[in-house]
Chain A
Amino acid sequence: MTGINTPSARHRRRTGRLDWIWFVPFFGFTLLFLVIPTIGLIIGSLTGGHPRVTLKYLAQLSQPQFLDAYRTSIALSAATALGAGLVGILLAWAAIGGGLPKALRPLLMTFSGVASNFAGIPLAFAFTASLGPVGMITVLLQQATGYNLYHHGFSLFNFWGLAITYLYFQIPLMVLLITPALETLGRWSEAAASLGASRWQYWTRVALPILRIPLAGALLVLFGNSFGAYATAYALTSGMINLIPILIGQEMTGNVLFSPGLGDALAVGMVVVMSVVFGLYLLMNRKGGRWAQ
């Protein structure tokens, strides 16, 4: 071993045993403030603070109120993920390959970065000012056509109103997520065209198979993004919509008192849904890695 006396090798020997010191703050912190509290929730959901393990709290999640909350949360996340997925991909596609001025693209990307982070309380205010009962769009629509949205079943403060509002941060996130994949498509499009593929062949044989995995990955991120959202829903509905994050918030502020185990079970249910979504996302990413080269 001739390299044994280079400074780096000497250093390695000297510090080798202390390597772990570099990781102590990170692992200590994540254990203390992320892993252990999550494990605490799981234990709480199985014991309710009593020394005996029971499945009764998790079983209580099947009560109509909680089942409905999970259903609404999942439906809201799925609806906004699919809606934003469709609109986002159209927007990105139009901006990349639609022969529009070049200046539009950086503008779209920067705006998407901003809007995907414009969520929570101010977003709820912005939509109340637009589509609320006396919002600008509601009023202008009534003045122009006599059509009052609120007399025809529309409300900003229910499921669909919330979905329209969520799209404001979901669509830009989709644009950010899918643009890299769409950019690689350009090369494939030229290759397919030069080989004489028809439009139909190109889409079914080339574009969709390439886009399938990044698309699925992006939809999963969108789903998770909406599933964990609390502030927007709370501010818009004053906490009057039956979503899981809202229920957990009510439990914490003492507005409703579930048994301790039940609150934990609600939270664990959220973590389980998010884990499934995230697990699928990682799986997609690994599969998609081949195409990302």
Chain B
Amino acid sequence: MRPARGSSWLVVLLGAAYFILPLVATLQFSLQTGTRPLFSAYSSILTASGFWASLGLSLFMALAAVAIGLLLIIPAAYWAYLRAPKVRTWVEFLSILPFVVPPIVLVFGMVGLYGNGFGPLSSPMVLILAAYGVISMPYLFRSIDNGLRSVDLRTLTQAALSLGAGWPVILLRIVLPNLRTAILGGAFLVFALIMGEYAISSMLGFNTFGVYMLLTGQTRAHAAAALALISFALVWVFVGFMHAVNRGNITFGPGAR
């Protein structure tokens, strides 16, 4: 009933070839620098001010998306779980709804509606942070919902209440510490998504890391290859962190492709 060992090796080796060859090719291309020093593509990237500015902007966006998503999801998910199971269905439905509205459609709808004449809502910064907040919701909800179930926060809350703790104390000293792994797991995934996001930021005119990568690719192919590998390493770091804090608990779904 199990696959033969030889064919398993074959499948895994073929798979490894498909996944490793593009990385090798990118590395080789990024090192093809002709007469210039071997790592000149990398040093030209790392010394370009646009690189650090765009990386900083994307980092800020990712942090903001996680913060917005958490501020929205934690109170709603926690309270629904604790007191209003009927509302939970709605929270879950709305949290997963962004899967149905692809990022390009989301930004199209937002700009069409709020693009001008809506005061602060028309500001691109508000729109991009809102869009990233929306994108982060499915991932954060799944993660936090799993977290809420696995630590039995209902009993812990009852215990805290019966010992006389107020709600601020409960949130800060009971809920957040117990949800720490869930929060971190979801947050790193959102980080990986937002750091490379392109559709929304390009439409709203932000020079994020994704947009910077595309612009670099149009003029400097070798530097672009170096950027692709740097980006891969970044994703590896975030997903690695996610796996480390969140063993065996995989969150998935369509994101900012």
Measuring CB to CB, which residues of chain A are less than 8 angstroms from any residue of chain B? Answer: 6-8, 11-12, 15, 19, 22-23, 25-27, 29-30, 32-38, 40-41, 44, 87, 90-91, 93-95, 97-100, 104, 108-111, 113-127, 129-130, 135-137, 167-169, 171-173, 176-177, 189, 192-193, 199, 202, 207, 221, 224-232, 234-235, 245, 248-249, 251-253, 260, 263-264, 267, 270-271, 274-275, 278
Interface contact A34-B257, CB-CB below 8 Å: no
- B45 vs chain A, min Cβ distance (A): 12
In the bound complex, residues from chain A placing their C-beta under 8 Å from that of B131 are 33
A-contact bits for B233-257, CB 8 A (1 contact / 0 none): 0011011101100000010111111
Interface contact A176-B252, CB-CB below 8 Å: yes
Closest residue to A42 on the B side, CB-wise?
A: B109
**Measured between alpha carbons, how far is A234 from B121 in the docked complex, in Å?**
28
Among B15, B30, B199, the residue within 8 A (CB) of A91 is B15
In the bound complex, residues from chain B placing their C-beta under 8 Å from that of A226 are 257
In the bound complex, residues from chain A placing their C-beta under 8 Å from that of B11 are 90-91, 93-94, 98
In the bound complex, residues from chain B placing their C-beta under 8 Å from that of A117 are 189, 192-193, 196, 235, 238-239, 255
B228 within 8 A of A: yes
If the complex has contacts A121-B217, A230-B104, A267-B109, are A23 and B22 also in contact, measured as CB distance less than 8 A?
Answer: no
Interface contact A125-B243, CB-CB below 8 Å: no
Interface contact A99-B8, CB-CB below 8 Å: yes
Interface contact A136-B29, CB-CB below 8 Å: yes
**Which of B59-67, B76-84, B145-153, B176-184 is near enough to bind chain A?**
B76-84
If the complex has contacts A99-B8, A230-B104, are A29 and B133 also in contact, measured as CB distance less than 8 A?
Answer: yes
Interface contact A41-B133, CB-CB below 8 Å: no
Interface contact B9-A41, CB-CB below 8 Å: no
In the bound complex, residues from chain B placing their C-beta under 8 Å from that of A123 are 228
In the bound complex, residues from chain A placing their C-beta under 8 Å from that of B110 are 33, 37
In the bound complex, residues from chain A placing their C-beta under 8 Å from that of B254 are 221, 224-225, 227-229
* 5 pairs, CB–CB < 8 Å, chain A vs chain B: A27-B94, A30-B95, A104-B12, A121-B198, A228-B104
Interface contact A129-B112, CB-CB below 8 Å: no
Closest residue to B2 on the A side, CB-wise?
A: A97
**Measured between alpha carbons, how far is A25 from B78 in the docked complex, in Å?**
13
Interface contact B105-A94, CB-CB below 8 Å: no
Closest residue to B109 on the A side, CB-wise?
A: A37
**Measured between alpha carbons, how far is A12 from B196 in the docked complex, in Å?**
45
Among A22, A111, A121, A251, the residue within 8 A (CB) of B210 is A121
If the complex has contacts A121-B210, A221-B252, are A34 and B105 also in contact, measured as CB distance less than 8 A?
Answer: no
**Measured between alpha carbons, how far is A108 from B15 in the docked complex, in Å?**
10
Interface contact B2-A98, CB-CB below 8 Å: yes
**Measured between alpha carbons, how far is A19 from B75 in the docked complex, in Å?**
11
**Interface positions of B from 212 to 239, Cβ below 8 Å from A:** 213-214, 217, 224-225, 227-229, 231-232, 235-236, 238-239
Interface contact B225-A125, CB-CB below 8 Å: yes
Interface contact A8-B158, CB-CB below 8 Å: yes
**Measured between alpha carbons, how far is A24 from B188 in the docked complex, in Å?**
26
Interface contact A8-B162, CB-CB below 8 Å: yes
Interface contact A36-B113, CB-CB below 8 Å: yes
Closest residue to A121 on the B side, CB-wise?
A: B213
In the bound complex, residues from chain B placing their C-beta under 8 Å from that of A94 are 3, 7-9, 11-12
B116 within 8 A of A: no
A-contact bits for B98-110, CB 8 A (1 contact / 0 none): 1111111111111
**Measured between alpha carbons, how far is A87 from B98 in the docked complex, in Å?**
28
Interface contact B76-A25, CB-CB below 8 Å: yes
In the bound complex, residues from chain A placing their C-beta under 8 Å from that of B235 are 114, 117-118
- B227 vs chain A, min Cβ distance (A): 7
A-contact bits for B154-197, CB 8 A (1 contact / 0 none): 00001001101001000000000000000000000100110011
